[in-house]
Protein backbone atom coordinates (compact mmCIF):
# COMPACT_ATOMS: atom_id res chain seq x y z
CA UNK A 1 0.00 0.00 0.00
CA UNK A 2 1.28 3.46 -0.90
CA UNK A 3 -0.06 6.44 1.02
CA UNK A 4 0.67 9.60 -0.95
CA UNK A 5 -0.10 12.83 0.91
CA UNK A 6 -0.08 16.03 -1.12
CA UNK A 7 -0.45 19.62 0.06
CA UNK A 8 -3.90 20.12 -1.40
CA UNK A 9 -6.53 18.49 -3.54
CA UNK A 10 -5.50 20.29 -6.74
CA UNK A 11 -1.94 18.91 -6.61
CA UNK A 12 -3.23 15.50 -5.53
CA UNK A 13 -5.73 15.38 -8.40
CA UNK A 14 -3.08 16.24 -10.97
CA UNK A 15 -0.95 13.41 -9.64
CA UNK A 16 -3.92 11.01 -9.82
CA UNK A 17 -4.54 12.09 -13.42
CA UNK A 18 -0.89 11.43 -14.28
CA UNK A 19 -1.20 7.90 -12.93
CA UNK A 20 -4.37 7.29 -14.96
CA UNK A 21 -2.81 8.81 -18.09
CA UNK A 22 0.26 6.66 -17.63
CA UNK A 23 -1.94 3.56 -17.45
CA UNK A 24 -3.69 4.54 -20.70
CA UNK A 25 -0.40 5.26 -22.49
CA UNK A 26 1.17 2.00 -21.36
CA UNK A 27 -1.93 -0.05 -22.19
CA UNK A 28 -4.16 1.80 -24.68
CA UNK A 29 -6.90 -0.82 -24.36
CA UNK A 30 -7.08 -0.51 -20.57
CA UNK A 31 -10.31 -1.03 -18.67
CA UNK A 32 -10.75 1.80 -16.18
CA UNK A 33 -13.10 1.71 -13.20
CA UNK A 34 -14.68 5.14 -12.73
CA UNK A 35 -16.30 6.68 -9.70
CA UNK A 36 -18.55 9.70 -9.36
CA UNK A 37 -19.11 12.14 -6.47
CA UNK A 38 -17.14 15.33 -5.95
CA UNK A 39 -13.76 13.77 -5.15
CA UNK A 40 -12.57 12.75 -8.64
CA UNK A 41 -13.83 15.87 -10.44
CA UNK A 42 -10.46 17.65 -10.62
CA UNK A 43 -8.80 14.43 -11.77
CA UNK A 44 -11.30 14.11 -14.61
CA UNK A 45 -10.83 17.78 -15.49
CA UNK A 46 -7.08 17.23 -15.77
CA UNK A 47 -7.58 14.10 -17.92
CA UNK A 48 -9.90 16.08 -20.19
CA UNK A 49 -7.22 18.79 -20.44
CA UNK A 50 -4.58 16.16 -21.29
CA UNK A 51 -6.88 14.77 -23.98
CA UNK A 52 -7.48 18.23 -25.44
CA UNK A 53 -3.99 19.74 -25.14
CA UNK A 54 -1.69 16.73 -25.23
CA UNK A 55 -3.65 14.28 -27.36
CA UNK A 56 -4.12 11.69 -24.60
CA UNK A 57 -6.00 9.03 -26.53
CA UNK A 58 -8.86 7.10 -24.93
CA UNK A 59 -10.07 5.49 -28.17
CA UNK A 60 -9.10 1.98 -27.02
CA UNK A 61 -10.26 2.39 -23.43
CA UNK A 62 -13.23 0.63 -21.81
CA UNK A 63 -14.81 2.05 -18.66
CA UNK A 64 -16.96 0.63 -15.90
CA UNK A 65 -18.67 2.95 -13.46
CA UNK A 66 -18.77 1.78 -9.88
CA UNK A 67 -22.38 2.41 -9.11
CA UNK A 68 -25.70 3.97 -10.03
CA UNK A 69 -28.74 5.04 -8.07
CA UNK A 70 -31.63 2.67 -8.56
CA UNK A 71 -35.00 3.97 -9.65
CA UNK A 72 -34.11 7.15 -11.51
CA UNK A 73 -33.71 7.48 -15.24
CA UNK A 74 -30.22 7.78 -16.63
CA UNK A 75 -31.14 11.19 -18.07
CA UNK A 76 -31.96 12.46 -14.58
CA UNK A 77 -29.39 15.11 -13.62
CA UNK A 78 -28.69 13.28 -10.33
CA UNK A 79 -27.94 9.94 -11.96
CA UNK A 80 -24.31 8.86 -11.98
CA UNK A 81 -24.82 8.31 -15.72
CA UNK A 82 -25.49 12.04 -16.14
CA UNK A 83 -22.66 13.01 -13.81
CA UNK A 84 -19.93 10.93 -15.43
CA UNK A 85 -21.04 12.06 -18.88
CA UNK A 86 -21.05 15.70 -17.89
CA UNK A 87 -17.74 15.59 -16.05
CA UNK A 88 -15.70 13.18 -18.15
CA UNK A 89 -17.14 10.95 -20.86
CA UNK A 90 -18.59 13.75 -23.00
CA UNK A 91 -15.17 15.41 -23.24
CA UNK A 92 -12.88 12.52 -24.21
CA UNK A 93 -12.86 9.98 -27.04
CA UNK A 94 -14.09 6.89 -25.18
CA UNK A 95 -16.40 4.95 -27.48
CA UNK A 96 -19.98 5.09 -26.12
CA UNK A 97 -20.38 1.32 -26.52
CA UNK A 98 -17.35 0.80 -24.27
CA UNK A 99 -18.58 3.05 -21.44
CA UNK A 100 -20.45 0.83 -19.00
CA UNK A 101 -22.67 2.14 -16.20
CA UNK A 102 -25.02 -0.05 -14.13
CA UNK A 103 -28.59 0.26 -15.36
CA UNK A 104 -30.50 1.95 -12.54
CA UNK A 105 -33.78 1.41 -14.37
CA UNK A 106 -33.51 -2.35 -14.79
CA UNK A 107 -36.56 -4.41 -13.95
CA UNK A 108 -34.39 -7.54 -13.63
CA UNK A 109 -31.89 -6.42 -11.03
CA UNK A 110 -30.08 -9.71 -10.36
CA UNK A 111 -29.64 -10.33 -14.10
CA UNK A 112 -28.39 -6.78 -14.68
CA UNK A 113 -25.85 -7.18 -11.87
CA UNK A 114 -24.64 -10.57 -13.10
CA UNK A 115 -24.28 -9.19 -16.62
CA UNK A 116 -22.24 -6.27 -15.29
CA UNK A 117 -19.81 -8.70 -13.68
CA UNK A 118 -19.71 -10.68 -16.94
CA UNK A 119 -18.90 -7.53 -18.92
CA UNK A 120 -16.01 -6.73 -16.57
CA UNK A 121 -14.66 -10.26 -16.99
CA UNK A 122 -15.12 -10.10 -20.79
CA UNK A 123 -13.03 -6.92 -20.85
CA UNK A 124 -10.23 -8.82 -19.13
CA UNK A 125 -10.90 -7.31 -15.71
CA UNK A 126 -10.40 -3.74 -14.55
CA UNK A 127 -6.82 -2.53 -14.95
CA UNK A 128 -7.13 0.57 -12.81
CA UNK A 129 -10.01 1.33 -10.47
CA UNK A 130 -10.54 4.89 -9.24
CA UNK A 131 -12.29 5.01 -5.87
CA UNK A 132 -13.51 7.65 -3.45
CA UNK A 133 -14.40 6.92 0.17
CA UNK A 134 -17.51 7.92 2.07
CA UNK A 135 -17.57 9.14 5.67
CA UNK A 136 -18.88 5.67 6.50
CA UNK A 137 -15.76 4.14 4.97
CA UNK A 138 -17.73 2.92 1.98
CA UNK A 139 -16.13 2.27 -1.38
CA UNK A 140 -18.65 2.28 -4.19
CA UNK A 141 -21.88 2.21 -2.22
CA UNK A 142 -20.79 -0.72 -0.09
CA UNK A 143 -22.07 0.60 3.19
CA UNK A 144 -20.82 -0.72 6.56
CA UNK A 145 -21.50 -4.46 7.02
CA UNK A 146 -21.30 -5.11 3.28
CA UNK A 147 -19.66 -8.47 2.75
CA UNK A 148 -15.98 -8.10 1.94
CA UNK A 149 -16.60 -10.72 -0.77
CA UNK A 150 -19.62 -8.93 -2.25
CA UNK A 151 -20.26 -8.63 -5.98
CA UNK A 152 -22.35 -6.17 -7.99
CA UNK A 153 -25.81 -5.97 -6.42
CA UNK A 154 -28.51 -3.68 -5.06
CA UNK A 155 -27.56 -1.95 -1.77
CA UNK A 156 -29.55 0.22 0.62
CA UNK A 157 -27.76 3.50 1.32
CA UNK A 158 -26.84 4.49 4.87
CA UNK A 159 -28.31 7.60 6.51
CA UNK A 160 -24.91 9.33 6.32
CA UNK A 161 -24.62 8.70 2.61
CA UNK A 162 -28.16 9.86 1.93
CA UNK A 163 -27.43 13.05 3.90
CA UNK A 164 -24.04 13.69 2.27
CA UNK A 165 -25.17 13.02 -1.29
CA UNK A 166 -28.46 14.91 -0.93
CA UNK A 167 -26.53 17.97 0.25
CA UNK A 168 -24.69 17.96 -3.05
CA UNK A 169 -27.47 17.08 -5.41
CA UNK A 170 -30.88 17.15 -3.72
CA UNK A 171 -33.14 14.16 -2.99
CA UNK A 172 -31.71 10.83 -4.02
CA UNK A 173 -33.03 7.25 -4.02
CA UNK A 174 -32.51 4.98 -0.98
CA UNK A 175 -30.95 2.21 -3.04
CA UNK A 176 -28.27 1.81 -5.68
CA UNK A 177 -26.62 -0.83 -7.81
CA UNK A 178 -22.95 -0.99 -6.84
CA UNK A 179 -19.95 -3.12 -7.67
CA UNK A 180 -19.11 -5.23 -4.64
CA UNK A 181 -15.99 -5.12 -2.52
CA UNK A 182 -14.99 -8.48 -4.01
CA UNK A 183 -15.40 -6.92 -7.47
CA UNK A 184 -13.13 -4.02 -6.48
CA UNK A 185 -10.49 -6.30 -5.01
CA UNK A 186 -10.11 -7.99 -8.41
CA UNK A 187 -9.04 -4.75 -10.10
CA UNK A 188 -5.35 -4.98 -10.98
CA UNK A 189 -4.57 -1.55 -9.54
CA UNK A 190 -6.58 0.72 -7.28
CA UNK A 191 -6.33 4.46 -6.68
CA UNK A 192 -8.34 5.74 -3.76
CA UNK A 193 -8.70 9.52 -3.55
CA UNK A 194 -9.80 11.34 -0.40
CA UNK A 195 -9.83 15.05 0.30
CA UNK A 196 -10.95 17.17 3.22
CA UNK A 197 -11.12 16.64 6.96
CA UNK A 198 -14.59 15.08 6.80
CA UNK A 199 -12.86 12.00 5.36
CA UNK A 200 -9.95 11.85 7.83
CA UNK A 201 -11.49 9.31 10.24
CA UNK A 202 -12.63 6.97 7.48
CA UNK A 203 -9.21 7.20 5.82
CA UNK A 204 -7.41 6.30 9.07
CA UNK A 205 -9.74 3.34 9.65
CA UNK A 206 -9.24 2.16 6.08
CA UNK A 207 -5.44 2.35 6.20
CA UNK A 208 -4.59 1.61 9.81
CA UNK A 209 -7.68 0.01 11.32
CA UNK A 210 -8.58 -3.66 11.45
CA UNK A 211 -9.92 -5.25 8.28
CA UNK A 212 -13.61 -5.19 8.96
CA UNK A 213 -16.92 -4.97 7.16
CA UNK A 214 -17.58 -1.96 9.44
CA UNK A 215 -15.24 -0.06 7.12
CA UNK A 216 -15.50 -1.39 3.56
CA UNK A 217 -12.34 0.42 2.45
CA UNK A 218 -10.29 -1.51 5.02
CA UNK A 219 -10.60 -4.49 2.66
CA UNK A 220 -8.13 -2.67 0.41
CA UNK A 221 -5.41 -3.71 2.88
CA UNK A 222 -5.63 -7.09 1.17
CA UNK A 223 -4.98 -5.66 -2.29
CA UNK A 224 -1.49 -5.89 -3.79
CA UNK A 225 -1.44 -2.57 -5.63
CA UNK A 226 -3.44 0.14 -3.93
CA UNK A 227 -2.43 3.77 -3.77
CA UNK A 228 -4.21 6.24 -1.50
CA UNK A 229 -3.86 9.83 -2.72
CA UNK A 230 -4.81 12.25 0.04
CA UNK A 231 -4.65 15.94 0.75
CA UNK A 232 -3.27 17.10 4.10
CA UNK A 233 -6.72 17.40 5.65
CA UNK A 234 -7.74 13.84 4.86
CA UNK A 235 -4.44 12.63 6.37
CA UNK A 236 -4.76 14.27 9.79
CA UNK A 237 -5.86 11.14 11.69
CA UNK A 238 -3.07 8.88 10.38
CA UNK A 239 -0.66 7.65 13.06
CA UNK A 240 2.21 6.70 10.77
CA UNK A 241 2.33 9.84 8.68
CA UNK A 242 6.11 10.29 8.72
CA UNK A 243 6.61 6.69 7.62
CA UNK A 244 4.30 7.17 4.63
CA UNK A 245 6.25 10.25 3.59
CA UNK A 246 9.52 8.30 3.78
CA UNK A 247 8.03 5.50 1.69
CA UNK A 248 7.03 8.04 -0.95
CA UNK A 249 10.57 9.51 -0.93
CA UNK A 250 12.07 6.08 -1.55
CA UNK A 251 9.43 5.27 -4.16
CA UNK A 252 10.36 8.48 -5.97
CA UNK A 253 13.91 7.17 -6.11
CA UNK A 254 13.34 3.53 -6.96
CA UNK A 255 9.89 3.23 -8.60
CA UNK A 256 8.77 6.72 -9.73
CA UNK A 257 6.28 5.16 -12.16
CA UNK A 258 4.09 4.32 -9.16
CA UNK A 259 3.74 8.03 -8.52
CA UNK A 260 2.80 8.93 -12.07
CA UNK A 261 6.40 9.41 -13.22
CA UNK A 262 7.07 12.51 -11.20
CA UNK A 263 6.08 13.71 -7.80
CA UNK A 264 6.62 17.42 -7.94
* Binding residues for ligand PGA (CB under 6 A): 37-39, 132-134, 138
- Taking each helix axis from N to C end, the angle separating 41-54 and 9-26, rounded to the nearest 10 degrees, works out to 50
Long-range pairs, 234-237, Cβ under 8 A, ≥24: 234/194, 234/195, 234/196, 234/197, 234/199, 234/200, 234/203, 235/3, 235/5, 235/200, 235/203, 236/197, 236/200, 237/200, 237/201, 237/203, 237/204
The residue among 63 and 178 lying less far from ligand PGA, judged by its C-beta, is 178
Q: Is 241 within 8 Å of 235 (Cβ atoms)?
A: yes
Can you tell me the distance from the alpha carbon of 170 to that of 68, in angstroms, rounded to the nearest whole number? 16
The minimum distance between CB 262 and ligand PGA, in angstroms, equals 25
The minimum distance between CB 124 and ligand PGA, in angstroms, equals 25
The residue among 39 and 150 lying less far from ligand PGA, judged by its C-beta, is 39
The residue among 33 and 37 lying less far from ligand PGA, judged by its C-beta, is 37
The minimum distance between CB 41 and ligand PGA, in angstroms, equals 8
Can you tell me the distance from the alpha carbon of 186 to that of 204, in angstroms, rounded to the nearest whole number? 23
In order, the DSSP letters of 121-181 are HHTTS-SEEEE---TT--STT--TT--TT--SEEEEPPHHHHHHHHHHHS---SEEEE--H
The residue among 138 and 189 lying less far from ligand PGA, judged by its C-beta, is 138
The residue among 37 and 173 lying less far from ligand PGA, judged by its C-beta, is 37
Residue whose beta carbon is closest to ligand PGA:
37
The residue among 174 and 263 lying less far from ligand PGA, judged by its C-beta, is 174
Amino acid sequence: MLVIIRPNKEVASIQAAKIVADQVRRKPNSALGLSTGTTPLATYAELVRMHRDEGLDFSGVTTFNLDEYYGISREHPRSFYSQIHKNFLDHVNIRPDRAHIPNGESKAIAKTCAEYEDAIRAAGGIDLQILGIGRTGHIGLNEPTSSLASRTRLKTLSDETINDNSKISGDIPQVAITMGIGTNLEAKKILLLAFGEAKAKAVAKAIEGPISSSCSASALQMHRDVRFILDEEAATELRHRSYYDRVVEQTKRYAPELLGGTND
